[in-house]
Structure 1
Amino acid sequence: MLTRLLPAPGTPRILMLATGVNTLGNGAYLTTSALFLTRVVGLSPAEVALGLSAAALAGVALTTPMGYLVDRLGPKRMQLGSLLVVAACFLGLTRIAGLWSFAVLASVIAVGDATVKASNGAMIASAVPPADRVRTRAFIRSTNNAGVALGTLAGGLPLLLDSRAGYLAVLLGNAATYLLAAGVVSRARATEPVARPPAGSRLAALADRPFLAFVLVDGTVAALFNELLSLALPLWLIRYTHAPVTLVTAALLINTIGCVTLQVRAARGTDTAVDAIPVARRGAFLVAASCLLLALTAHRPSWLVGTLVLAAATVHVLGELWLSSSTFAVIFDVAPDWAQGQYQAAYQTGRQVGNMIAPPVLTALVIGYGVPGWLGVAGLLAAAGLAYPYLIRAGLRRPRLVGTGAAAARVG
């Protein structure tokens, strides 16, 4: 029974537990951070946005080089170091007095969190047989979503109190979860660094152009499906319908329950990059279909809007699950064993770029153009679905000058 509900014993279960602990604190912080920074620290919304932009740029610039260090120093060591550094940064947030101190700490947190995720993936690659890596990663993503959801609920109490003490308690609690996660990870089996072959590029992931094309497209798609329900939907409901905004909560609940309970099932049969080709295409088409359903809600009766939103949320989460599974398979499969850390980090960089692009694109299209805007977003996602087979096959056909050639050998 446990084999169905949990990943394999050892490192996979340790990483799953560490993720659950860590994301519990993250969820509470994300819920309260905006009010803490504006009401307690005294930053303006523009200063908060500027600090977060600086953090995003730091993540884009430094995450892949940190992935190189993951490979050279070992993923367990880098994950422990990153968890401890980020814990110190959250403690530092309790003392910030202005924009510059916030921007510096936010930048270190952004790079540190991305390094934790890259190290996590590299630890899975080193500890789990190739056939079980995607399934293990699916367990961890389910745990991540559950932890963030529970943390978000926990963050509701400080919001109600709306006091400096409450917000500082969240920061201290989040720092504690990083320390606890480090303690859990320390129990994992040591992962030795894999030597870089003489012919291997120091930053092989950045030299792998097909892979970079994949991560930029996939990172943007991931950012779009993450922001559809949390950003575009509430703005849309307010502007173009008379339905209650509480529909957003119902849609997000469907998404959370689906991601927590169905991610492992959705990952079945998606073990390699070749397996991922139809899965990625199908997932992108489904998320595009959810946009079409949302477009139909414009100026409709509230009961019909509610029905369409719930249907769109259901279709959306199925697409998201398949897209996530295909992403795991591609990254694990195309990365050479000695560069798993930097390939995982390069993907995190793609996600960071997507996170910078998606919000303005969604708001400009959906709020600026209404129904045609939803059709435009659906078109972008459908185009990505059509592009995925070419991007993935191009990566598999590329001579594995930096790897073993096993992945390329599977594509005729």
Structure 2
Amino acid sequence: MSEPSRGERARLLAALMARFFGSGFWAPLQVLFFVRIAGIPTFTVSMGLTVATVVGLVAGPFIGGLADRYGTRNVGVGVFGFAACASATLVLVDSVPTFLLAITLISIGRGGQAAVSGALVAAVAGDSKLDFRARVYSMQNLVMTIGPVFGGLVLQADDRRWYMVAIAVEVTACLVACLCVATLSTRPTALPKAEHASASALRDRPFMVVSGLSGVLVLFDAVQTVLLPLWVTQRTDAPRWIISAVFIMSSVIVVAFQRRVSAGTEDVGVGARVLRRTAPLAVIALALFFSASYTRDVVTIALLLCGLAFLTWSEMCFAAGEYSLSYGLARDERHGQYQGAFAVGVGLGSAAAPPVVTGLCLGLGPAGWAVLASLLLGAGALVPAATRSASAAIAASRETTRDQQSQSDPV
């Protein structure tokens, strides 16, 4: 099997960037589209999106298992093509049943994309997969910043025709990704069908413990996206433009430094220590944000910007550690299943983060901030031990596989 070329990596990067642009473009529009244009009740939209997200997360490992069995390129083309068709169903949404159908199909497509994208990176980037994944994450931040700018034009127009254009952009992004993935080389099926178990990654308890701890650590993400805008406008005297400034600043920092933070995390022990670092950095950011409610003018702005710097550093450590452990703790030749399974813990944490973070920090006051900090620090402290347990399970599995192969070899 030939070593993946630089051109293949470029084409995979183009596929993922197209996908991220489509997601960034549509994400700020979807709720308003369902509520204002399709006429779906707000509570129904909220609950429907939550349930559909869980369905997509559960589907991820099974779709990843198909990639392990039938080839990442082949299943990747199918998944991105399915995502395009699923997004196209948005034009049909005019009632609760059609809404539920559309978002369920879309969520299944997203769950499959998370698993297959991780497997594609493992297949195409080879030994450089962590550095390549860090590069993807850096570019993702850039593209996900550009997408909402164009989405804002649709929000300003607030017209059904412009929402249809936005849906067309999302469908096109999926199709571009599909075509780019189709140009990748076909590689032999990695996992023999006789050894295939579609949900084996979900039954790998040590691995899922690491995934679950990562799901707790990812609570920090809602601090910037949900809590900070509310905190700045309701509890500080900072100008509202600071909200946009911190998002731009965060993206610039990630683009500039993510690959440096990820350097050396090929070893899972190093990856675990980097992931653990997520917690104290996020707690420092929380302390600075909380302090900003007791200051004024320039001091408030300085505290918010310093807090954002620590929170972004925390984000980069999380990404580096997540990539290191999701790949390093995966069973050989089963990256599709394992990338999908790791996304379950992180995805559930991301889904729970907005209500948990706002409920604690805005609902309980200082005690809530302390509870959030304790959750982060507790999860971070457990990561190294959980990683050692998962590593031991992998070593035992590989030893068993070698013994079985030696016994089956002819004398």
TM-score by length of 2: 0.91
Alignment match, 2:172: 176
Q: Residue 357 of structure 2 is aligned with which of 357, 362, 381?
A: 362
Query: Aligned Cα RMSD in Å?
Result: 2.0
Letter aligned with residue 246 of structure 1? W
**Residue 177 of structure 2 aligns to a residue in which SS?**
helix
- Following the alignment from structure 2 to structure 1, what is the Cα–Cα distance between the partners of residues 35 and 385? 46
- Following the alignment from structure 1 to structure 2, what is the Cα–Cα distance between the partners of residues 328 and 42? 40
Contact map agreement 1:75 1:123 (CA 8 A) in 2? yes
- Following the alignment from structure 1 to structure 2, what is the Cα–Cα distance between the partners of residues 274 and 186? 36
Alignment match, 1:319: 314
Aligned pairs (5 A) from 1:105-254: 105-130=102-127, 132-196=128-192, 201-222=197-218, 224-254=219-249
Alignment match, 1:372: 367
Alignment match, 2:250: 255
Alignment match, 2:409: none
Letter aligned with residue 347 of structure 2? Q
- Following the alignment from structure 1 to structure 2, what is the Cα–Cα distance between the partners of residues 177 and 296? 42
Q: Deviations over 1:310-363 (max 9, x none)?
A: 001101111111111111111111212221110000011112211232122111
Contact map agreement 1:251 1:313 (CA 8 A) in 2? yes
- Following the alignment from structure 1 to structure 2, what is the Cα–Cα distance between the partners of residues 197 and 172? 38
Alignment match, 2:404: none
- Following the alignment from structure 1 to structure 2, what is the Cα–Cα distance between the partners of residues 63 and 137? 19
Alpha-carbon deviation of 1:402? 4.4
Letter aligned with residue 64 of structure 1? P
Alignment match, 1:278: 273
404 and 169 in structure 1: CA distance in 2 versus 1, 3 angstrom threshold: farther
- Following the alignment from structure 1 to structure 2, what is the Cα–Cα distance between the partners of residues 174 and 199? 37
Q: Deviations over 1:158-181 (max 9, x none)?
A: 111111111110001110111111
**Which range is displaced more, 233-242 or 276-285?**
233-242
Q: Residue 7 of structure 2 is aligned with which of 2, 5, 10?
A: 10
Alignment match, 1:62: 59
TM-score by length of 1: 0.91
Alpha-carbon deviation of 1:34? 1.9
Alpha-carbon deviation of 1:213? 0.6
Matched pairs, number? 398
Alpha-carbon deviation of 1:377? 1.4
- Following the alignment from structure 2 to structure 1, what is the Cα–Cα distance between the partners of residues 236 and 68? 51
Q: Deviations over 1:210-252 (max 9, x none)?
A: 1101101102322x12211110112222332232333221221
Contact map agreement 2:24 2:143 (CA 8 A) in 1? yes
Letter aligned with residue 175 of structure 2? L
163 and 334 in structure 1: CA distance in 2 versus 1, 3 angstrom threshold: same
Alignment match, 1:410: none
Alignment match, 2:330: 335
Contact map agreement 1:292 1:375 (CA 8 A) in 2? no
Q: Deviations over 1:277-308 (max 9, x none)?
A: 22112222211211111121223213222111
Q: Residue 69 of structure 2 is aligned with which of 68, 72, 90?
A: 72
Is 2:36 the partner of 1:31? no
Alignment match, 1:346: 341
Alpha-carbon deviation of 1:126? 2.3
Contact map agreement 2:138 2:258 (CA 8 A) in 1? yes
Alignment match, 1:43: 40
Alpha-carbon deviation of 1:271? 1.0
Letter aligned with residue 277 of structure 2? R
**Residue 244 of structure 1 aligns to a residue in which SS?**
coil
Alignment match, 1:3: none
Alpha-carbon deviation of 1:273? 0.8
137 and 192 in structure 1: CA distance in 2 versus 1, 3 angstrom threshold: same
Letter aligned with residue 192 of structure 1? P
387 and 405 in structure 1: CA distance in 2 versus 1, 3 angstrom threshold: farther
Letter aligned with residue 257 of structure 1? V
**Which range is displaced more, 66-75 or 234-243?**
234-243
Letter aligned with residue 184 of structure 2? A
Alpha-carbon deviation of 1:198? 5.7
- Following the alignment from structure 1 to structure 2, what is the Cα–Cα distance between the partners of residues 359 and 205? 27
**Which range is displaced more, 288-297 or 53-62?**
53-62
Alignment match, 2:261: 266
Q: Deviations over 1:153-209 (max 9, x none)?
A: 111111111111111100011101111111111111113321248677542212211
- Following the alignment from structure 2 to structure 1, what is the Cα–Cα distance between the partners of residues 289 and 188? 49
